[in-house]
Amino acid sequence: MKSASDTGISVVRSAAVKVAGVSKTYSVRAGDDVVALDRVDLDVAPGSFVAVVGPSGCGKSTLLSLLAGLIPLTTGRLTIDGEDVHRPHPKAGVVFQSDLLLDWRSVLDNVLLPVEIKKLDRKAYVARAQDLLAQVGLQGFDDKFPYELSGGMRQRVAICRALIQEPGLLLMDEPFGALDALTREQMIMDLQTMWLRLRNTVLFITHGIDEAVFLADRVIVMSPRPGRVDLDLTIDIPRPRNWSSVHENANFQHYVRQVREIFEAKGVLVTH
Amino acid sequence: MAEPKQNLGAPVKRKRAKKRREPSTLLETYGSLGLAIIVLVLWQIAVPLLGLSEFVLPTPWAIARRMVTSAPLLATNGWYTLLEVVAGFGAAVLTGVPLALAIFYSRVFERAVYPLLVGLQTIPKISLAPLLVLYLGYGWGPKIGLAFLISFFPIVISTVVGLQSLDKALVNMVRSMGSSEWQTFFKVRLPAAMPSIFGGLKVAISLAVIGAIIGEYIAAERGLGYLQLQANQQFDTTLNFATVVSISLLGVLLYFAISLLEGKVSYRKESAK
């Protein structure tokens, strides 16, 4: 695909992701290698929401770091819209496990950080930043500082920061892992609402089976040591989905059970 | 870091948003001032009561009066001391911060220079004063040199510690946006290290005053340290005390200046309390 320089505020062009035979080996010491990912294949269609679920140590965060261009891969090929990922790709935005807001910047300045880093015209993005903040229920919070916000609000700001440049690919690394149950539930539903509007490609890393099934079009189940894809599950539940009623949905229960069965078979979950 | 709060709709209420004037808060606010006044009054009363002569212990009031009458003398000498402190401290900042950056960014510096520096820190800088006089003479040299030496280490160490204590996830976060190391330094590393750096600067500026005064004790023809020695030799204890007060005023003034600068360029760590 052509890399048309889309620096302006345009409609989201969702990106395609191709992971082909990707392995990642960390050398702890000489001759003492840890295989974090073992020949992983994954094709993500533009505009789809893919959740990667697995226990800790299954390499799902490694997969995200590779896609974010933060670490080099050992073997295989990894592309975003056909372009090899060697360094952070301009079409990708990342939301991390903790909000990682800069304490010395106001909410607005935190959201505009990627714009500054990419040396774009800040003024052109202020309105968009305010619009994003309003969408997550933070209108009028521009001049507040991170310490004035609750954990859930901080993560909302982090999501706005990742979305300021309308990334074709949104990478989310257990973004709600550090939040309490109620806030998490709210964030999951808000993320769905937001995504239904944006329709960009999302790769959502989590260890929560229910949130993966709720949010995603496809759930990729991974097992640990070495990290491998065990199951590729297409979720066929109409949207918008409702968190409280979806739990009574027979399909939902069926999907969740399928994922759990994999974990039980692999000894990740032990039933007594 | 992000403490889970269920407070979705409203910002977290800041503590101490409205201060109630309870006796306990009054005592907290004005306690130190009150204590200082009590001590000064007791001092003022005790001197005549114990029949102490002014050569032994002048009253606070006498010292205050002397500070007014000898103001030009104190100001002229204070000015020289101030210049020595600022020059020594300034030199320490201009060399200490770059050295700290070298230690942070270069493995060679971290392995070779840093341990040596920490080792050298055990030398009492004051014991170098006579040597500095020997090498640098009787002029500005030894005073500035001592102020420099004594304030150098806290600046280097606080800067290195400030840079090293950064959460690496923050670096990954800006790197994922395509940040260069240059941008990472100015957008994340430096601002994040500011509270630590200023902690070091505040320690350093107080030490720099001590350095300059010691330099003046050893050999000088001007400065507050020199003036104090003169007063001592002439048994002018009131002037002696007036000099001590002037020196601490100088220290407070400089500390305040650093705090003011900190308010402009650094951020407050709100999570600390």
Instruction: List, in sequence order, every residue forming a beta bridge with A77; answer none if it has no partner.
Output: A20
On chain A, the residues whose CB falls within 8 A of the CB of B189 are none
Flag if A178 and B183 touch (Cβ within 8 Å).
Answer: no
On chain A, the residues whose CB falls within 8 A of the CB of B14 are 148
Chain segment B148-161, per-residue pLDDT in tens: 999 999 999 999 99
Contact A247, A214 (CB under 8 A): no
Distance, in Å, from the CA atom of B250 to the CA atom of B150, rounded to the nearest integer, reads: 17
Full set of structural domains in chain A with CATH: 12-27+45-91+168-272 (3.40.50.300), 93-166 (no CATH)
Contact A165, A114 (CB under 8 A): yes
Q: What's the average model confidence in pLDDT over B81-102?
A: 96
Mean confidence (pLDDT) of chain B? 87
On chain B, the residues whose CB falls within 8 A of the CB of A113 are 174, 177, 187
Neighbours of B242 (CB within 10 A): 28
Distance, in Å, from the CA atom of B122 to the CA atom of B103, rounded to the nearest integer, reads: 19
Distance, in Å, from the CA atom of A257 to the CA atom of B1, rounded to the nearest integer, reads: 34
Closest CA to A56 of A144, A162, A166, A177: A177
- Strand order of the β-sheet with A201-206 is A92-95, A169-173, A201-206, A49-53, A218-223, A228-234
* ipTM reported for the complex surpasses 0.90: no
B14: nearest CA partner in chain A: A148
- What phi and psi values does residue A194 have, to the nearest 5 degrees? -65, -45
On chain A, the residues whose CB falls within 8 A of the CB of B192 are 102-104
Gyration radius of chain B's alpha carbons: 24
- Tell me, yes or no, if A190 comes closer than 8 A to chain B by beta carbon: no
Encode chain A (272 residues) as per-residue pLDDT tens digits: 333 333 334 446 888 899 988 888 888 776 778 888 888 899 999 999 999 998 887 888 889 999 999 998 889 999 998 888 888 988 899 999 999 999 999 999 999 999 999 998 899 899 999 999 998 889 889 999 999 998 889 999 999 999 998 889 999 999 998 888 888 988 999 999 989 988 899 999 998 999 999 999 999 998 877 788 888 999 988 888 988 888 888 999 999 999 998 888 877 777 77
- What phi and psi values does residue A168 have, to the nearest 5 degrees? -70, -25
- Tell me, yes or no, if A134 comes closer than 8 A to chain B by beta carbon: no
In Å, how far is B157's CA from the nearest CA of chain A?
Answer: 23
In Å, how far is A20's CA from the nearest CA of chain B?
Answer: 22
Peptide bond into A167 cis (omega under 30): no
- Is the pLDDT higher at B22 or at A176? A176
Flag if B4 and A144 touch (Cβ within 8 Å).
Answer: no
3-state secondary structure of A18: strand
pTM: 0.82
Chain segment B199-222, per-residue pLDDT in tens: 999 999 999 999 999 999 988 789
A68: nearest CA partner in chain B: B176
Q: Of B5, B6, B165, B173, which to mutate for an interface test with A (greatest number of A Cβ within 10 Å)?
A: B173
Output the pLDDT for position B258: 95
In Å, how far is A252's CA from the nearest CA of chain B?
Answer: 27
Chain segment A107-145, per-residue pLDDT in tens: 999 999 999 999 988 998 999 999 999 988 898 899 999
Element holding B264 (H helix, E strand): helix B237-265
Least confident of A203-212, B25-34, B51-60, B83-92: B25-34
A153: nearest CA partner in chain B: B8
On chain A, the residues whose CB falls within 8 A of the CB of B6 are 150, 152, 180, 182-183
Flag if A90 and B178 touch (Cβ within 8 Å).
Answer: yes
Closest CA to B178 of A14, A131, A85, A195: A85
Q: Which amino acid is at A26?
A: Y
Element holding A36 (H helix, E strand): strand A32-44
Output the pLDDT for position B26: 74
On chain A, the residues whose CB falls within 8 A of the CB of B187 are 102, 113, 116-117
Distance, in Å, from the CA atom of A52 to the CA atom of A61, rounded to the nearest integer, reads: 9
Full set of structural domains in chain B with CATH: 71-268 (1.10.3720.10)
Gyration radius of chain A's alpha carbons: 19
On chain B, the residues whose CB falls within 8 A of the CB of A151 are 2-5
In Å, how far is B167's CA from the nearest CA of chain A?
Answer: 9
